[in-house]
Amino acid sequence: MRASGRLKALALAVTLLTGTAGLAACSGSAAPVPSRAAAGSSTPTPTPAPPAVTLDDAAEAFAEFIATDDLLRAGGDLRLSLQITRDSESLLTTAAFASTGNRPPRYTWGRPTFYVPRFPAGERAPWFSVLVTRDDALTLLTFAKAADWRLGSATRLLEGQRAPEIALDADGYATALGAQDESVTISPHYMGPLHATVAEAGASGVTAGLIAPGPHTTDIAREISVERDEAKLAGFSYDSIFSGNDHPVYALRTSDGGALIQYSLTRTTTTTTRTAEKDFIPVPEPARWAIGEPVLRRTLRLSETHQYATAVPPSSAPAAARVVAHDGALTRASGE
C-alpha cells in the first residue's frame, strides 16, 4: 500500500499559489532518511504475508507530510492544513493558526525512527508512529489512514523521561494492542478515563497506584483545588473537568511486555460570577485570541485539548503507569 497522493497534490497546489518552490527547504532539512529500529533477532524466519503498511510506505507518508506541512504553514493556509491532520491534531492545528494570525510555528526535523504495526492485508484503519526530533525536542507522531494518511497525534517527550523500547519482530515491525488487551496493567480503552480521574481528584480511591504522580496527573489535581479555593474567595464559582473523546487510542507493545499508549483528553474550565452587576471575570492572556475582551461579566469557559503517551507495565509486573510525553493547548474559549 502506497501513501496517498493527496499530500503531493496539496504540496504542488501551495507551491503554485505562493509562487515559490523553495519553501520546503525552510524546514531546516531535506526529506529525512528513515532509520529503522533494530529488530530483536537476526535469526532467519519464514517470510510472512506482506503487511498492510510497509516500512517504506510509512517513510514515504512521513516525508510527504513534513514537506507539505511546511508549505502550508509558510503560506498560512489553515484550510489545506486541516486536510493533512485529524482528530485532536486538527483542533490543535486550528488553534495554532488562529492564535498567531495565521502564522503558526514551522518546524525543523531530525532523523525519524518508524514503528509500524504488522497489520494484515485489508486492514481498514492502519496507523504507524514515528519518533523524531522536532525543533530539538524528541517527538512521537502517529499517522492514521482512512482515505489518506493524516497526522492524528503529536506528543513531546517530557523532561527526565525516556521513550520506552518498542518490541519489534525480525523484520522490524511492531505489534499493535487491541483496545481491551488485558496483558497490561491498564487496558488501552481505560487509559484515558483513569488519567482524567487522577488529573481531577489526585491519586486516591480506585486510581491509587495505577498512574504515577507528576505534572500531568496529581499536580494538575492540586492546581485545580487551589484555583477553586481562590475563585471562591474572589466571589466566583469554578470547576475544571477532564473528559474523554471519540478520538482513536493507539497502543504499541514494548520490549518489557507492556505498552506505550497514546490518547487524548479534553479539559473544560468554567468560571461564573455570583452577581452580574459588579463582579468581572478576567480573561487569561492566552485566551484573548478567541475572545478579544479583557474581562467578562457572567461566564468564562475555556476548552483545552491534551495529547499524551503513557508507558504502561505488563500485568505480570504491576507498577504505576508513567506519562512520558504530552502536548496540548487552549483550543476554544467562549463567554459573556
Each residue's pLDDT tens digit, 31-67: 444 555 544 445 555 666 789 999 999 999 999 999 9
pLDDT of amino acid 21: 35
The pTM for the full model equals 0.85
C-alpha closest to that of 18 among 68, 60, 62: 68
Per-residue pLDDT tens digits for 323-333: 999 999 999 99
Neighbours of 162 (CB within 10 A): 11
- C-alpha neighbours within 13 Å on the C-beta side of residue 217: 26
Q: Could you give the 3-state DSSP secondary structure of residue 245? A: coil
205, 285: one domain:
yes
| In-domain check, residue 138 | yes
Domain hosting residue 303, numbered range: 188-335
* Mean pLDDT lowest among 10-19, 191-200, 226-235: 10-19
Q: How far apart are CA 164 and CA 259, in angstroms?
A: 9
The secondary structure element, H or E, covering residue 289 is helix 288-291
Looking at the structure, tell me whether residues 82 and 222 fall in a common domain.
Answer: no
Whether residue 311 is predicted with pLDDT greater than 50 in this model: the reply is yes
Nearest Cα neighbor of 289 from 105, 101, 99, 102 is: 99
- Within a domain: 147: yes
Three cell numbers, residue 213 = 504522580
- What gap in Å lies between CA 111 and CA 134, rounded to an integer? 9
- Tell me the Cα Rg of the chain: 22
Inform me whether the pLDDT recorded for 131 exceeds 90: yes
224/233 Cα distance (integer angstroms): 14
Other CB atoms within 10 Å distance of the CB of residue 247: 23
Do 205 and 147 share a structural domain?
no
> How many whole angstroms separate alpha carbon 189 and alpha carbon 14?
39
pLDDT in tens, 157-184: 999 999 999 999 999 999 999 999 999 9
Check residue 293 and give its pLDDT: 85
- Residue 277, pLDDT above cutoff 70: no
Tens-digit pLDDT profile for residues 78-90? 999 999 999 999 9
**What is the pLDDT, as a whole number, of residue 122?**
87
Is the pLDDT assigned to residue 1 strictly greater than 50? Answer: no
Residue 29 lies in a domain: yes
In the numeric block, which cell numbers belong to residue 33? Answer: 532518511
- For residue 166, is it within any domain? no
Greater confidence (264 vs 26) lies with: 264
How many structural domains is the chain composed of? 2
Amino acid at 107: Y
52 vs 27: CA distance, rounded Å: 30
> Taking all residues of the chain, what is their mean pLDDT, rounded to a whole number?
87
Kindly state whether residues 135 and 225 are assigned to the same domain. no
Rounded distance, CA 245 to CA 241, Å?
13
